[in-house]
Amino acid sequence: MPRTASTVGGLTRAVGRSLGIVVLVVAAVTALGPLLWTLTTSLRTPAESFTNPPQWLPLHPDFSNYAAVFEQIPIGRFFLNSVIVTLLIVAGQTVTCMLSGYAFAMLKFPGRNAIFFAFLATMMVPLQTIIIPVFVIVRYMGLSDSLGSLVIPALGSAFGTFLMRQYFLQMPKELGEAATIDGASYFQVFSLVYARMAGPAIATLAILNFSGFWAEFYRPLIFLQTQDNYTLPLGLVGLQGNLGTGSISVVLAGVVLAMIPSVLLFIFAQRYFIEGITAGSFR
């Protein structure tokens, strides 16, 4: 009897295991299918772009759609705008979040914890609740319809501050104390000792910011009016709008172009994407 029971147990376990693989494969196909379809459809001739079954393996790729994107919209300009906005925000947040994170982790000042919790609380505030006043502030600063309207309000970040604070908290206090005894100023302790050890945290924040702001749609939609100032996501939706002249293959070629930087970054810096997501989970 015991033998039969264990055989049945072994059998259900084997069935369970192969069922698991099936589920995983189906999920992976679901995750990757739309991306692959987008890529292959961007390589079909406009006449064939919407025919089924889809051609999963592009045996005769037609790159003319990529040239057509450049003819139909100033995508080079959109690309440049996205690069400028994203890089300025990444650089700015690296500096501001290092400073604020360091202050919350290492310096003692009155009301430190209260201010820190106020920072954390702002992470729960939806962008929608602050967008109208930010829109008004940006207008009064004379930044309406400019790339600055996207960059300046994004130079601080509660999440970035939190990430940097967690990182600085792990560092030994003794290093700074030793440097202080050697005559280093507050700022020197920060810039010469701790900031130089923050490389992994900086990489994590920079990479999350890059992929986040590269993809941003809502603020550009509200802040930008002139087509020449559009960033990529806004420009792509515009490209979809003048479909009368083109085919969906052209639109999808634009979508693929817009995704290339994020995917390249992911290939080279996978680890930091994962660290960034899990760093938020208060471990």
Partner 1 sequence: MTVFTGLPILASFGLSFFSWDVISDPQFVGADNYVRMAGDAAVLSSFRVTILMAISVVVLQLALGLGLAVLVNQRRSDVARTFFRTAFYLPLLASTAAVSIFMGYMFDYKFGLINYYLQLVGLSSVPWLTSGFGAFVTIVLVAVWQQVGFTFVLFVAALMSVPKEILEAASIDGAKPWATLIRIKVPLISPTILFAGVVAFINAMQLFDQPYIMTKGGPGTATTTTTIVMYQSAFQNLQFGYGSAISIILLLMILAVTGLQFLAARKWVFYQ
Residues 74-113 that bind partner 1 (CB under 8 A): 96, 100
d(CA 248, CA 107): 56
Indicate which single residue of 103, 202, 255, 269 sits in contact with partner 1 (rule: CB under 8 A).
255
Closest to 124 (Cα-Cα) out of 73, 158, 89: 158
DSSP 244: G
* Helices vs. strands in the chain: H and E counts, helices first: 13, 0
Q: Near partner 1 by CB under 8 A, which window of 62-70, 115-123, 170-178, 194-202?
A: 115-123
Indicate which single residue of 7, 112, 139, 178 sits in contact with partner 1 (rule: CB under 8 A).
139
Indicate which single residue of 20, 76, 172, 199 sits in contact with partner 1 (rule: CB under 8 A).
20
Q: Per CB under 8 A, does 59 bind partner 1?
A: no
Q: Per CB under 8 A, does 156 bind partner 1?
A: yes
d(CA 142, CA 227): 18
Q: How far is the CB of 99 from partner 1 (least distance, A)?
A: 11
Q: How far is the CB of 122 from partner 1 (least distance, A)?
A: 5
Cis omega (within 30 of 0) for bond into 53 = yes
Query: How many residues lie near partner 1 (CB under 8 A)?
Result: 79
Shorter beta-carbon distance to partner 1: residue 126 or 183? 126
d(CA 226, CA 177): 53
DSSP secondary structure of 37-80: HHHHHTTS-GGGTT-SS--SS-SS--THHHHHHHHHS-HHHHHH
Indicate which single residue of 14, 28, 47, 175 sits in contact with partner 1 (rule: CB under 8 A).
28
Q: Which of residues 182-221 bind partner 1 (CB under 8 A)?
A: 211, 214-218, 221
